[in-house]
Amino acid sequence: MRRRAVAACLAALGLLTACTTRDDGISGLSTPGVPGPAEPGTLRVLSSSELGDMAPVLAQVEKDTGVKVKLNPIGTLDAVRMLAEGKTDGQYDALWLSSNDYLRLRPEAARKVVSETPVMSSPVAIGVRSATVKALGWRPADVTWSQVEQAVQDGRLTYGMTDPARSNSGFSTLVSVASALSGAQSALTDADVTKATPRLKEFFKGQKLTSGSSGWLAAAYDRRGDVDALLNYESVLMGIPGLTVIRPRDGVITADYPLTSLRSTSARTREDVRRVTEDLRTERIQRQITARTHRRPVVASVPPAGGLDTTRRRELPFPGTRSVADGLLDSYENELRRPSRTVYVLDTSGSMEGDRLDRLKTALTDLTGDFREREEVTLMPFGSQVKSVRTHVVEPADPRAGLAAIREDTSALSADGDTAIYTSLEKAYGHLGTGRDAFTSIVLMTDGENTAGAKARDFDAFYARLGREARDTPVFPILFGDSDRSELAHIADLTGGRLFDARQGSLDGAFEEIRGYQ
């Protein structure tokens, strides 16, 4: 019964309004968004991924205004990078992120904005299994971040959160924790981050799940069953059965979801954005928003939906400079969080000869710029069988050496043989083994169907025999070339991974998107 309830919740999270990116929980297809051409009366909106639950509300807004809103979901920090680099010009008509706080720290992005208007709000919160709250003896109204840290140190609390480098919920959580544990009385400074680092290291020992999206995180949490809590927006956590939602007493950061007009658009488009924004802020639509999404209204005359805690809490300030924000992110990626161990199972069969192999090499070479310190990367190219197993660690003392070795091995890839997908996956699980204190995952890239070695049923039986810890390692398959969607979707579903599509977008885009899950 509980699993069906969570599935229903995830289906709601996955609803999108005529968008080109899908995020359907555990095994759903992820397609890097490609906006369509401009159409009169339609707004192409680059949006935070969790706004899929606004589909029914936006259907009503279209009836009210005659303006259709097409959401194209993406991580907040990725959207800001696109805006700053001019990649939204002529492609999108508006921006609708959970927050514009990080955007304002980048002048090259901020100058592309004409106006922004908050539509609703949701604070960062902690959703804890109700049984765990009882076992810890917590009174939800009195819990502080320090208590959460202590529970982690005592081995009594584990949690999942989204990747701060891509998701604003993850980044806002990181800032909230750093502010509280450092005792900062105003916006975080570099000194505050340095002061809090020892305690932050202890805090992040409790993180057992990472994700690029809230929908996949909730599904992975339900599948695992051994993680005690989730750190995310209150609105997301309220929709997950069995959680007690806690807003720490010493403060959090709140998302205000501003609908934002872009300078690159026409006056007519900006007028459409204004009309949509006005309708979203009417009392009737605000009541619908809070009832459907568990977000809080921004119109004072509309009360929050039932179940939302109305007790005042300290609102923590966002970092005042980009250097502090980026420094905190860098510290998290390379020092605070658990390291990653990833096996890249790469199809280098005969069908990859030529352009496909060149694209793979380019994508992997470009990806090396995103690997973190302490990260373990294994390249496992295969054809009729696994051709080689080459493991490299990005050592903090000399990260360039590890990255150079990965690029060298990538350059040496060659195409020949058949396609032994399942045999290669079995070897990847064997390589990772068990007893590791790391985020483990397997990335499978193939351009065709399985034609050699173990069959699908053999792999299913192999996976069923794995121990609990090994089964917690997801496979993230990438659709490419002539690969079989149903075959790869089954692998993602079986292992708790997620399917990515490089046929609609780019191979390097798919590899990059997977980074949020490693």
* pLDDT for position 62: 98
| Whether the predicted pLDDT of 280 surpasses 90 | yes
- Three-state secondary structure string covering 422-458: HHHHHHHHHHHCCCCCCEEEEEEEECCCCCCCCCHHH
pLDDT tens string 68-108: 999 998 888 889 999 999 999 999 999 999 999 999 999 99
| Whether the predicted pLDDT of 277 surpasses 90 | yes
In terms of phi and psi (left: phi > 0; alpha: psi -120 to 50; beta: otherwise), the region of 339 is beta
pTM of the model: 0.87
**Is 211 strand, coil or helix?**
strand
Categorize the per-residue pLDDT at 33 as very low, low, confident or very high, splitting at 50, 70 and 90.
low
Mean pLDDT of the chain: 90
Categorize the per-residue pLDDT at 38 as very low, low, confident or very high, splitting at 50, 70 and 90.
confident
What residues pair up with 347 in beta bridges, in sequence order? 382
pLDDT tens string 315-374: 888 898 999 999 999 999 999 999 999 999 999 999 999 999 999 999 999 999 989 999
* pLDDT for position 14: 36
| Whether the predicted pLDDT of 20 surpasses 70 | no
**Structural domains of the chain in order of their starting residue, each with its CATH number:** 2-120+256-297 (3.40.190.10), 122-254+313-333 (3.40.190.10), 339-517 (3.40.50.410)
Q: Per-residue pLDDT averaged across 197-203, rounded?
A: 94
Neighbours of 226 (CB within 10 A): 10
Token pair for 249: 């007493």
